[in-house]
């Protein structure tokens, strides 16, 4: 994870066909400054590896939790897809310019962040996955919580970071935007549902987070399919995804 990606970028830079990135920019600056530089290639490699690890681990863990939550709460997933269909339509995938027009998708992401909290004095009924808690009135007419706080301040800055806003995770905007885009794209393009066992019984995932340096969602079974043949043959085709 540290050596191979760095060497790939370095080789591409030397051959003149590198894609702009943090690593390529730092290497170019290092080579330009020469002996006067305050850092070396090893420093660049380590910084790039830390950023990559932080981004991929948090993204994969959160998105796996999202998929499991949607398997367990199909009503939430249906509402998410309905909003996307109404605002974005089926001819393209959502992008960040759509974000302000998709409040339910926004609140699904907030609830995904919120799900790690357990303090009932801050978020009532914490064991329930309820995006509507962040709305004055939910799409089904249920009343939300009064002035529910945005959980991003907690998940991107708890512990020592929480007391000082300037110490909150420096990659929070990138991570938040990337997660929103992934959640919206998954919901727009894919149907997610419970799997069926060999005996024909529905398999209901049991949420579990084994201990470790990073607590991933335990493996679970589900079924994921394209929402339509048009999506499978068009929006999710290799050629379209490469262009996108």
CA angle 106, 112, 117 (to 5 degrees): 125
Domain ranges of the chain: 3-243
**Higher-pLDDT residue of 65, 230:** 65
CATH of 3-243, one of 1.10.1660.10, 2.60.40.10, 1.10.630.10, 3.40.1010.10: 1.10.630.10
At 18-36, the pLDDT tens digits run: 889 889 999 999 999 988 8
In order, the DSSP letters of 161-214 are: GGG-GGGS-TTHHHHHHHHHHHHHHHHHHEEEE-EE-TTSPEE--------SSS
The model's confidence at residue 173, banded by pLDDT at 50, 70 and 90, is confident
| pLDDT of the residue at 86 | 97
Phi and psi angles of residue 141, each rounded to the nearest 5 degrees, phi first: 90, -5
Of the ranges 27-36, 144-153, 218-227, 229-238, which is most confident?
Answer: 218-227
| pLDDT of the residue at 243 | 44
List of residues 6+ apart from 17 with CB closer than 8 A: none
| pLDDT of the residue at 239 | 54
| pLDDT of the residue at 195 | 97
At 98-153, the pLDDT tens digits run: 999 999 999 999 999 999 888 888 888 999 999 999 887 544 545 556 557 888 88
pTM for the whole structure: 0.74
């Amino acid at each position: 994870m540290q050596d191979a990606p760095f060497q790939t970028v370095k080789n591409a830079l030397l051959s003149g066909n590198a894609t702009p990135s943090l690593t390529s920019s730092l290497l170019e600056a290092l080579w330009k400054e020469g002996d006067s530089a305050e850092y070396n290639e090893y420093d660049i490699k380590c910084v790039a590896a830390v950023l990559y690890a932080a981004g991929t681990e948090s993204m994969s863990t959160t998105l796996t939790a999202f998929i499991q939550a949607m398997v367990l709460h199909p009503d939430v997933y249906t509402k998410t897809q309905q909003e996307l269909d109404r605002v974005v339509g089926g001819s393209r995938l959502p992008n960040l310019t759509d974000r302000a027009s998709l409040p339910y998708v926004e609140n699904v992401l907030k609830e995904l962040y919120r799900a790690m909290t357990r303090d009932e004095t801050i978020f009532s009924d914490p064991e329930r996955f309820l995006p509507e808690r962040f709305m004055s009135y939910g799409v089904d007419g249920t009343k939300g919580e009064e002035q529910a706080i945005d959980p991003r301040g907690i998940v991107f800055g708890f512990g020592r970071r929480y007391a000082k806003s300037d110490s909150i995770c420096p990659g929070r905007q990138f991570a938040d935007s990337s997660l929103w885009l992934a959640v919206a794209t998954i919901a727009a393009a894919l149907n997610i549902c419970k799997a069926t066992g060999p005996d024909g019984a529905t398999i209901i995932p049991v949420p579990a987070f084994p201990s470790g340096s990073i607590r991933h969602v335990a493996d679970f079974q589900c079924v994921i399919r394209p929402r339509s043949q048009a999506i499978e043959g068009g929006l999710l085709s290799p050629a379209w995804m490469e262009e996108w």
